[in-house]
Every structure is written in C-alpha cells, then in structure tokens.
C-alpha cells in the first residue's frame, strides 16, 4: 500500500492555522518602543543620559544576551504562564508543572492514538485503544471518524509503514479538514461506548483539544452541548502548537507528552506473558532484508512494563501512540497481541466487553425498521465488496460464493414448502449503473429473487443521521466539565454524516435466511460479529 501521510511539517494543505481563523496581531508583552517617564527627582540626568550612557547600554546588552539564552527555558515558562495559551508548561512531574490550558483537566492522564484506513479498521483500533487505556489507567481520547483511506499506515508484513509521528500529524490534518468542511463526526457518535463507560474513562477529541489546547472546535458541532464545551478564544498559532503536541513532532513538550514511536516493524505489544523482549515469531525474511535494506527485528514487549508505573512514560500527562491497528499474520499479531488476561480480572472484563462494540441505538433501530417495514419477509443479506483494494481482483470468487449461498437457501425453502421469490438485501460498493454484464444484473432480472437496496439519499437514512447527530453521543459519553454540563449554545450545525454503511450492516444483522460476505472483508467480519451477538431481535 502506498504511503499517503503528511510529511509532518506545519503549513501543509491541512496544517496551516491561517486557514482556520483570520490572523490576529497583538502587541508583545512589555515590548518597549515607548519612553518611560522617570521620577522628577532624576530629571537632571535626562539631558546627558541618551548620549553618555549609550556605550554602557551596549556593553550591558552584549553581556545580557548570552545570559538570556541560558535562561531561555525559564523565560519561556514565564511567558507561557502569562500569555493566553499556557499549555505544555515546563517543570518536573508534580513540581508545579501544568500540562494543558484548562484547570478542568489538571491531574488527568490521557491516551491518544492515530487511526487510519477504512471504518472497520478504525473500529478495530478503537477496541485496542480501550484495552490500552484500561491497562495503563488513562483517559482515552476518542477520535473522529476519518474518511475512507484519508490516512493510511502502509504494509506491516512488508515493513513499509508510516512513522508514528507522521501518522499522528496526518490524523490531525485530516481532522482539521473535517472541521473546515463541517463534516466532523465522532467515533463516539457512531459506536455505542456505553458498554465500557463504567470501567474506562473517555473524552471526546473535540473537547480534549478545546480544553487542553484552547482551540475553537465549534465548527465540528451539530448541537448545543457540543458548542458549549468546544468553544474557545484561540489564536492561529494554537492550532499549530496543538498539532505539534499531539503528533509528537515537538518532542516530549517538557515531559507533558510521551510520543510512542514503537511500531509494527519492531514491536508486538503484550501483557503478562513473561517473555518481555523475546523475538516475535514473524520477522522480515532474508530476501526482504536484502532488497529493502531492512534491519528491523520484531520483539514482544510488555506494554505495562514499558509504559506503565516506573517507566518514563508514566509521568507524562499525554501518552500519544501511532496506529493501534493489528491483525493476525503468519501465526503472529502484526502489532497488538493482548487478547486475554486471566491474571488481571479487570482487564479481562474489558477485553470481553470490547470484543463487540455495537452501533449507536439510532443506527440499530434504523436497520430493524427497514427489515420490518420495507422487506417485511425473511431475507438473505449479501455483502459484496468489489471495488476497494484487493477485492477488485476477486470478483469470480465473490460471485461464486453468492451463487452457492443462493442454491442452499433455495433448497432450504423448498424443504419447508416456502413459495415465492427469495428476498435478498444487497449491499455493495458497485453502483447499480455498473451492474450490466455481471452476475448482479442476472440476479436483478431473475424472477426467483427480489432485491432490496438502500441509498444514502433515502429518507430513512437521512432521518437516522439527523437523529444520531442531535443525540450528541460522542460528547455525552465522556468527560464534560461540571460548570457547563447543562449549558447549550447555538451554533451552525455540521453536515449530516454519511451513515449508509452502518445502516446497511444493521439491516444485514436482521437477515433470518443467512448472510454471505466477501472473503477477507472487515465489513463482512463486522456483520458476522453483529449476528453472533444477536443485535437484531425483530
């Protein structure tokens, strides 16, 4: 997979703060340029001072410049305490250090990560992030839903991946694009986080950067509560400063931020396996090492030992990961291998809860409504992924699986003396206009089948999107400052999100005649999980 990440430099297509707010100019603190009035008793020295003291002043300045450089860190800390943006202050942990602008977040410890690729991959990363936050006792910063492949990682098996800091910068830049285009939607709006609420603390990304960085995030809001908690009187530089902080491009920010640079080329995260530092079973082969000049060695690393109590990361207010995506490959996990914890009951409970995180109630209800009121009959669901990535090369296998499933359903219906056509809900990324000369066109013309589909413009989908955004699940599911918990402010709402995929998955969870999905598709895996957990009960 080709790299499509930001270079990490500010001022890129999504990084320039000038695109977000108009430039603001202000006078420097104690800037000089005006003449200071001296006491009257010293008036007799005024006529001579400008001329006779000039050499002395120059000499003093020459001596002061090196001293000021030596004291620059202290001067910087002073300015940070005076200027409006006071985040990322210096000092040792517990020695008066203040990380972040808002006192509301004082003493909290956060975990942030960089999601990537398609929605199903982003959900997988969210599950792993919940586990990491629980393990390290940190408040999870819940990110937005990113556009499909707007940010990509690369290929872990081929050891061709984006550096963690570049990935975090790319996520920030895309989040700012969503803000400018008013298309922002939180993962907490789409995914129901209530199953983990009692055991893992969360905070919405919009609220976190508004309180921590002091930036105005109201352009990401649909309703009043979000507007009340996401406002701020930010300066243009605050956006760049926040980008630097979250990405880790600015280093550790005086100990306030710990940017995790370990990625899947060198690390597989584990917990309580007693093999910390051991070689992982999957390593780059010799041919790859020679062709790509790769020197990486993959080791299994205990996350709690590396980033928990007693580690350098422990004292940082913000722990910033790159990707947390992982998948099985050649008998190993590509990056995150924490699936059970029999010795730690609390973490085991979390692992069981995140095995399945359902969609928000509005999405589940929409799927049920379509099945009950539109299809009305028992039906089969077919999820056919034909255009994206590797799937465009496997049409034959995908259509073959569908043919076999239809034959099996037809035989089953014949046994039960069923009559009439087989109702089938079709979800596919191939537009109906392109069905001609494919197996889908044959099915559409065949009287033995009755096809049902959904479009983004359908009234059910549009109404569900409006109800979903008005509910403000993303903001309400996590931390809200007490002084504004019941406050609402008017703001211009964001665009309604595209939720067709989520509603389609919900419909498929209701398919009583079964389900057939594209082999290897994470969407198919998501639907299978929903069906396994009996999400739809008509």
Can you give the residue ranges of every domain in the chain? 101-353, 359-455+497-531
For the chain, the distance separating the N- and C-terminal CA atoms, rounded to the nearest angstrom, is 41
- 108-135: buried (b, 16+ CB within 10 Å) or exposed (e) per residue? bbbbbbbbbbbbbbbbbbbbbbbbbbbb
Q: In Å, what is the CA distance from 283 to each residue of 98, 190, 286, 292, 330?
A: 42, 37, 9, 14, 10
Q: Which residues contact 128 (CB under 8 A, 6 or more apart)?
A: 324, 325, 326, 336, 338
Residue 537 is predicted with a pLDDT of: 83
Kind of pairing between the strands at 515-517 and 328-329? unpaired
| Residue with token string 């020295």 | 45
Q: Where are the alpha helices (DSSP H) in 322-452?
A: 345-354, 361-369, 395-415, 439-445
Task: Looking at the structure, give the CATH architecture of the domain made up of residues 359-455+497-531.
Answer: 3-Layer(aba) Sandwich (3.40)
Helix, strand, or coil here: 181? coil
Residue 74 is predicted with a pLDDT of: 36
Cβ–Cβ under 8 Å, residues 204 and 140? no
Residue 106 is predicted with a pLDDT of: 84
Residue 233 is predicted with a pLDDT of: 65
Cα 107 from chain centre: 23
Element (H, E) at 516: strand 515-517
Nearest to 206 by CA among 218, 190, 196: 218
Please give the model's pTM, rounded to 2 decimal places: 0.80
Q: In Å, what is the CA distance from 61 to each residue of 65, 70, 76, 524?
A: 6, 14, 19, 70
Q: Which residues contact 371 (CB under 8 A, 6 or more apart)?
A: 379, 425, 507, 510, 511, 536, 538
pLDDT along the chain (538 residues), means of 10: 35 30 31 34 32 44 42 35 35 52 86 95 96 97 96 91 94 96 96 94 94 90 86 77 87 82 96 95 91 91 97 94 94 95 93 95 97 96 90 92 95 80 95 93 94 96 96 92 69 88 98 95 94 91
Residue 392 is predicted with a pLDDT of: 87
Beta strand segments in 272-378, E:
299-302, 318-320, 328-329, 332-333
């Amino acid at each position: 997979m080709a790299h499509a990440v930001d270079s990490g430099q500010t001022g890129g297509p999504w990084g320039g703060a000038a695109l977000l707010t108009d430039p603001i100019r202000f006078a420097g603190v104690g800037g000089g340029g005006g003449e200071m009035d001296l006491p009257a008793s010293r008036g007799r020295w005024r006529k001579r001072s400008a001329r006779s003291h000039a050499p002395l002043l120059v000499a003093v300045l020459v001596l002061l410049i090196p001293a000021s450089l030596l004291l620059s860190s202290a001067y910087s800390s002073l300015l940070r305490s005076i200027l409006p943006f006071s985040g990322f202050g210096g000092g040792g942990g517990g020695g008066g250090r203040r990380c972040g602008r808002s006192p509301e977040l004082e003493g909290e410890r956060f975990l942030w990560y960089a999601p990537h690729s398609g929605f199903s991959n982003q959900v997988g990363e969210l599950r792993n992030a919940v586990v990491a936050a629980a393990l390290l006792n940190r408040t999870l910063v819940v990110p937005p839903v990113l556009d499909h492949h707007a940010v990509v990682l690369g290929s872990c098996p081929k050891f061709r991946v984006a550096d963690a800091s570049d990935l975090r910068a790319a996520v920030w830049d895309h989040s700012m694009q969503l803000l400018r285009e008013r298309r922002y939607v939180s993962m907490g709006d789409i995914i129901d986080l209530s199953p983990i609420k009692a055991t893992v603390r969360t905070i919405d990304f919009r609220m976190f950067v508004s309180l921590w960085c002091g930036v105005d995030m109201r352009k990401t809001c649909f309703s009043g509560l979000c507007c009340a908690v996401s406002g701020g009187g930010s300066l243009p530089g605050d956006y760049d400063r926040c980008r630097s902080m979250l990405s880790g491009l600015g280093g550790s920010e005086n100990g306030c931020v710990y940017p995790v640079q370990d990625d899947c080329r060198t690390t597989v995260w584990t917990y309580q396996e007693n093999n910390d530092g051991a070689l992982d079973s999957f390593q780059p082969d010799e041919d790859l090492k020679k062709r790509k000049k790769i020197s990486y060695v993959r080791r299994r690393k205990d996350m709690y030992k590396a980033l928990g109590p007693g580690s350098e990361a422990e004292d940082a207010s913000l722990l910033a990961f790159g990707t947390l995506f992982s998948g099985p490959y050649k008998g190993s996990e590509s990056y995150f291998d924490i699936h059970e914890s029999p010795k730690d009951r609390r973490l085991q409970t979390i692992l069981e809860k995140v095995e399945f995180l359902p969609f928000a109630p509005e999405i589940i209800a929409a799927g049920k409504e379509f099945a009950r009121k539109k299809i009305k009959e028992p039906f089969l669901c077919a999820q056919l992924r034909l255009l994206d990535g590797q799937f465009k090369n496997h049409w034959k296998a995908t259509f073959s699986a569908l043919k076999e499933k239809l034959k099996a359903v037809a035989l089953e219906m014949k046994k039960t003396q069923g009559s009439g056509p087989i109702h089938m809900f079709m979800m596919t990324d191939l537009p109906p206009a392109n069905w001609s000369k494919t197996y889908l066109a044959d099915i559409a013309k065949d009287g033995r089948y009755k096809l049902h589909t959904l479009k983004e413009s359908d009234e059910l989908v549009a109404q569900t999107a409006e109800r979903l955004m008005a509910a403000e699940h993303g903001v309400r599911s996590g931390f809200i400052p007490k002084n504004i918990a019941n406050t609402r402010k008017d703001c211009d709402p964001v665009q309604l999100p595209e939720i067709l995929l989520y509603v389609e998955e919900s419909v498929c969870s209701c398919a009583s005649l079964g389900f057939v999905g594209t082999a290897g598709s994470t969407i198919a895996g998501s639907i299978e999980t929903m069906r396994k957990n009996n999400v739809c009960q008509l």
